Amino acid sequence: MKWALLGCLLAGCGGPTWLQNARILVSSTATNDCRTMICRHNENTDLIVWNGALWLVHRAAQSQVLGPNSSLHVYQSTDGGQHFVDVATIPAPADRDLRDPHFFVVGPALHIKALTRLPVISLRDSNVETIAVDTQSTDGATWTPLQPIGPVEWSFWRIRQHEGTYYTAAYHDGDTQVTLFTSTDGHSWSEGAPIYAVADDSPLETELLFLPSGQLLALIRMDGNNSEILGAQGRLRTKVCWAAPPFATFSCPQELTDVRLDGPVAFEWNGRVFVVARKHLSQGGRKRTALYELAGAFDGGPLTIREWGELPSAGDTAYAGVAPLGGSRFVVSWYSGDLKLDETWLLGVLDVTNIWVGVLDLANLPPTATAPLQSGKQSAKSL
């Protein structure tokens, strides 16, 4: 099915000069069949450039609540994100939830890492017996059955390839610790160095970024104690950790304060490092998706963080994907609830959400005063 991209007038969007053509790509539908069709709650996006095309994936379900009535939808764009074609649907296992898809490439095949969980309601994904799974395709339309690639109770985040090895940061059920996992083939994974293991901080989704200095940067979302978990009160913190080759030990000398990067995606451009992640407002627990920039010493810290602004977003939102178009332009995907309703996150996780796309033109950002990275190379080829 071909999804025509709606213009800003139809979507009611606007925004800063660095965000262009922001629009709803996938709109919520009222169907109850979320295993084969688009549903009420669409979330968890990712993007990649592969085989000369742009690929997008997202989850569809009735809500964010765990359950087998869920699926992943895969889209292809051959015109730089102007139009997308819905090319594949991957249903959840019969007795498990399916979510948090991320693309990666191994040889000639495009892979999707995702998480399956038991349909258990808990505060910190306790007792859900998470299993990281993989599916692959050589054409983007036909995908292999989901196969386990991680040990039970470990949630893989985004997979990065670096000098022939695949890396991911995984967090343990209950949000008690984050550990590095590695693989040489993208299928068989080995547990490596602990990244951060202070259970009282509730560490979870951790974004990895390999830097030209040789250092590996890990940005760790920390939900804190029970009063802080919703991000509406108390501390907002992101732990900053570093490792040098061969990445056998990590040091975590710093916290970014007053910012908690939920569902982060990090990327480089022109010697600068950016992150798209969820932003937490104090007004009744409302959320946004925002663009941030990190600056400082990218050979081990310290770092500062600056917010450049918000993408059109409200309610349950974020979990973005980013893929390069060339030059200063990147396609970005994210999901959001109804902008006019501007619900709290607690209401938004149960309500309608849509998939959005737009273009980041980072040349429209002011220059920074800090020294750039040694190289502005990107982690994926542009179109």
Q: How confident is the model at residue 240 (pLDDT cuts 50, 70, 90)?
A: very high
Domains of the chain: 2-364 (2.120.10.10)
Check residue 383 and give its pLDDT: 77
Name the one residue in this structure whose structure tokens are 């080829």: 381
pLDDT tens-place string over residues 257-296: 999 999 999 999 999 999 999 999 987 899 999 999 999 9
| Rounded-to-integer distance, Cα 44 and Cα 62, Å | 14
Structure tokens at 43: 């979330």
Nearest of 10, 125, 100 to residue 46 by alpha carbon: 100
Close Cβ partners of 246 (under 8 Å, ≥ 6 residues apart): none
pLDDT tens-place string over residues 173-194: 999 999 999 999 999 999 999 9
39, amino acid identity: C
Structure tokens at 146: 């989901």
Q: What are phi and psi of 200, to 5 degrees?
A: -65, -20
> Distance of CA 92 to CAs 43, 97, 118, 156, Å?
15, 6, 11, 17
Helices (H), the chain: 8-11, 345-348
Between 382 and 64, the more confident residue is 64
Q: In this structure, what DSSP letter does residue 181 have?
A: E
Check residue 12 and give its pLDDT: 41
3-class state of residue 199 by DSSP: helix
Check the CA dihedral 265-147-64-33 and report its sign: positive
108, amino acid identity: P
297 pLDDT above the threshold of 80: yes
Q: Could you give the angle at the alpha carbon of 310 between the alpha carbons of 305 and 314, nearest 5°?
A: 125
Name the one residue in this structure whose structure tokens are 């490792």: 243
Strands 41-50 and 53-61, sheet pairing? antiparallel
Check residue 105 and give its pLDDT: 98
3-class state of residue 364 by DSSP: helix
Entry pTM? 0.94
Q: How confident is the model at residue 382 (pLDDT cuts 50, 70, 90)?
A: confident
